Amino acid sequence: MTTKHTPLVILGSGPAGYTAAIYAARSLIVPVLISGMQPGGQLTQTGDIENFPGFPEKISGIELMDQMRQQAENLGTIIVDETAVAVDLSKKPFSVTLDSEDVYTCDALIIATGASAKWLGLANEDNLRGFGVSACATCDGFFYRNKKVAVIGGGNTAVEEALYLANLASEVFLIHRRDELRSEKVMQERLKAHPKIKTIWNTVVEDYIGEKSNGGLTGLRLKNIKTNEASELAVDGCFVAIGYAPNTELFRGQLELNAEGFIVTDKTNLHTSVEGVFAAGDVQEMFYRQAITAAAGGCRAALEAEKYLSALK
Ligand code: NAP
């Protein structure tokens, strides 16, 4: 176990974390970035990205994040591929304990820990996760070649997952609780036009059918919420795509969080309730949850951290 001091620690390696690192490094701060459990963050689990400016031919999420990491490193960021397991924001310098038990103390902290997929919360969900139930089509879709799958949700993630899975599976059912999707119109058009995808409207999943010890998921028990009609749908896989919850457990009781658990920040300068602690990206953003807005937040947080650190001198 070692303890090191550094002016700035950045937690998280999505677009917010890497962009914060790029800006901080260019201010000659030499930031330490703790990449977390999933280096590259949520974008490493998406397919092609069409809406990040500068890549007219699209770019894969993994490649985009690799390039951001490379850029941050080239400019002098120290990247530590570990996970923060505890933080102490009650006194200065702040301290961050890693899973190796090494500790970084720092004068300023940028939190860019992002968000994680939400689950339906059904009784046997935990049991069947990895046995037919998943929240990541790009990770697990391969196992469902020529099989039937369902995707739950009506946002961009659900539609993207359905389109991705349609390249592999024999049939894809998109199950949505309303009669209107909230995803981008262009994605809705692609969904409608796809011959392998069927959308089941006004419907919720009441239960997963299947046993982990006996081949895993075999189907879903559904209910139409307009007619109350119950039905069963035979599927081999179910992908839950109902949004994301912020990764803020480490900060509970130390920073102001809103009712949904997002870090409360000043929307202009991304200051949190503790002076010297800044937050950027999905961990504090409830509405514009995009790679580009996260990157922009990382930039703002780094500029603010730099200003804060200069004032301390
Ligand atoms: P989202 O936009 O919050 O959509 C979640 C969907 O899940 C909604 O359709 C919601 O239904 C449904 N839902 C929520 N809880 C549910 C439950 N308990 N049971 C059944 N359905 C439930 O989440 P997202 O699609 O993950 O997207 C998150 C953010 O990332 C958005 O800002 C999105 O634009 C962005 N994103 C962007 C891209 C892209 O630009 N290509 C790709 C992926 C994600 P209701 O509609 O009825 O609320």
Give pLDDT tens digits for 229-277: 999 999 999 999 999 999 999 999 999 999 999 999 999 999 999 999 9
Task: Check if 160 has its Cβ closer than 6 Å to any atom of ligand 1.
Answer: yes
Task: Check if 300 has its Cβ closer than 6 Å to any atom of ligand 1.
Answer: no
139 is catalytic: yes
Give per-residue pLDDT as tens, 157-202. Answer: 999 999 999 999 999 999 999 999 999 999 999 999 999 999 999 9
Q: How far is the CA of 305 from the centre of ligand 1 (A)?
A: 32
Task: Check if 222 has its Cβ closer than 6 Å to any atom of ligand 1.
Answer: no
pLDDT at residue 227 greater than cutoff 90: yes
The torsion of the CA quartet 37, 40, 45, 50, rounded to 10 degrees, works out to 160
Strands 3-11 and 32-34: parallel
Query: Please, what is the average pLDDT of the chain?
Result: 96
Q: How far is the CA of 243 from the centre of ligand 1 (A)?
A: 4
Using the atom order of ligand 1, give the atom closest to the CA of residue 120.
18
Closest alpha carbon to 125 in 203, 208, 205: 208
Q: How far is the CA of 33 from the centre of ligand 1 (A)?
A: 29
Task: Check if 307 has its Cβ closer than 6 Å to any atom of ligand 1.
Answer: no
Question: How many C-beta atoms surround the C-beta of residue 172 within 10 A?
Answer: 28
Q: What is the pTM of this model?
A: 0.83
Task: Check if 31 has its Cβ closer than 6 Å to any atom of ligand 1.
Answer: no
Q: How far is the CA of 208 from the centre of ligand 1 (A)?
A: 21
